[in-house]
Structure 1
Amino acid sequence: MTRKLVAILRGITPDEALDIGAVLLEAGITMIEVPLNSPKPFDSIGRLAKAYGNDALIGAGTVIDPADVERVRDAGGKLVVSPNCDRDVIARTVALSMVSMPGVFTPTECFAAIGAGAKAIKLFPASLAGPDGLKALKAVLPEAVDVYAVGGASASNFSDWLKAGAAGFGIGTALYKPGDTPDAVAAKAREIVAAYDEAAPDSSGE
């Protein structure tokens, strides 16, 4: 089973993408998103998808326009992550047989996303809801829908979030910041994977 960890590479450039992608995969992180407010994001997505698309789920973050869903698909991406719940973005993603992970915060947004076809949702910003907020949401959400905690989840608190019902996590600046070297990202990725495997030993695929 794949670790449910999404690497959020906000600010990455196309020339960095392959080296950073390589160390992430080596550490055991096999879901990668390039936010669309990064430099030349579709170029980075295309390079990552061509090099690692058979071994990892590659795609875009900060997708707020249905037209960009098709651009992600055309670049070779298969993952569409949004900061918000936009039914048109979700529906277009699902129609193209891609993975939709819309951002939600309230029960209304959660069920709107699910109704539009999302099988995974992103609790964002997770830090404001906290594990207690997630636990309350999980009491009413369909069990089959994975909830990823993004913004506030880290190696130090994976266990708390998993106990509250999180299926996985999106990790941004704790994993990659613009200008980070591959060696620096590799070290952080190993730490995050080790913490995840300790908190969720049945999910590591080991």
Structure 2
Amino acid sequence: MTDIFRPAVLPMVAILRGLTPQEAPMVGRVLFNAGFRMLEVPLNRPGAIEAMQRLIGMAPDDALIGAGTVLKVADVNAVKDVGGRLIVSPHCAEDVISHAAANGMIALPGVATPTEAFRALAAGAHGLKLFPAEMIPPSALKAIRSILPPNTPLLPVGGINPQNMAGYVAAGATGFGIGGQLYQPGVEEAALTRSAQAFVAAREKLLQGA
């Protein structure tokens, strides 16, 4: 399962906080057309489960859709019930991680320290969300990377934009979570298209080694 996080792919998780069911079809269409294949809808806003369902219903076969801000085991069950396969948390909740992994879902918990990182991996995490990335610059990521198992997927989340991705990749990042720099509730389709294309172009440049 962690193949999706390998450096040759450099996945970008679109964090769609505040997405409404009504807005989901447009947002999904734009992001899928741009090349995004991992989408999360944080659960701490009304309508999140229904919005996620709509994304799942229109997603390409190679897409991975799920929820963010997953805080408890019951949330994992709710996501699974509608077909979600990605579980992202802002923190290291070992019961959430192990339950998601046991149910065949991708667990991507948030960590900020080596202690949290090792606890998350021991619980079954498939990758680590380094959050908030504003507090974890590339130099800190490089240090954390040096003490983890070599192939551990690391995805900085928080304040990521097309301009600062290269520094994180050079330090060992294998992907990114992208929130407000990509999507804001009520965003116009043209603006979302421009943002999505800018991130995809930055990723392609990094993959080409430019």
Partners of 1:196 and 1:131 lie apart in 2 by: 17
Instruction: Name 1:174's counterpart in structure 2.
Output: 181
Per-residue deviation at 1:55?
3.3
Partners of 1:142 and 1:201 lie apart in 2 by: 26
Partners of 1:65 and 1:18 lie apart in 2 by: 28
Instruction: Name 1:115's counterpart in structure 2.
Output: 122
Structure 2 unaligned spans of 5+: 1-7
Instruction: Name 2:104's counterpart in structure 1.
Output: 97
Secondary structure (helix, strand or coil) at the match of 1:14 reads coil
Q: Identity across aligned pairs (percent)? A: 47
Instruction: Name 2:81's counterpart in structure 1.
Output: 74
Write out per-residue CA displacement over residues 28-56 of structure 1, whole angstroms, 9 at most, x where no aligned residue.
11100000012211101111112216231
The answer to whether the 8 Å contact 1:90/1:118 transfers is yes
Per-residue deviation at 1:177?
0.4
Q: 27, 33, 53: which is aligned to 1:46?
A: 53
Per-residue deviation at 1:3?
4.3
Partners of 2:70 and 2:189 lie apart in 1 by: 26
The answer to whether the 8 Å contact 1:45/1:76 transfers is no
The answer to whether the 8 Å contact 2:10/2:176 transfers is no
Partners of 1:170 and 1:77 lie apart in 2 by: 17
The answer to whether the 8 Å contact 1:153/1:161 transfers is no
Q: 93, 98, 113: which is aligned to 1:86?
A: 93
Secondary structure (helix, strand or coil) at the match of 1:22 reads helix
Residues 90 and 43 (structure 1), Cα distance of their counterparts in 2 relative to 1, 3 Å cut: same
**2:76 partner letter:** V
Residues 140 and 152 (structure 1), Cα distance of their counterparts in 2 relative to 1, 3 Å cut: same
**2:27 partner letter:** I
- Aligned residue pair count: 202
Instruction: Name 2:198's counterpart in structure 1.
Output: 191
TM-score of the pair, normalised by structure 1 = 0.95
Instruction: Name 2:15's counterpart in structure 1.
Output: 8
Per-residue deviation at 1:2?
4.4
Partners of 2:62 and 2:151 lie apart in 1 by: 24
Structure 1 unaligned spans of 5+: none
Moved more, 191-200 or 82-91: 191-200
Instruction: Name 1:61's counterpart in structure 2.
Output: 68
RMSD: 1.2
- Deviating beyond 2 angstroms after TM superposition, the runs of 4 or more aligned structure 1 residues are none
Secondary structure (helix, strand or coil) at the match of 1:133 reads helix
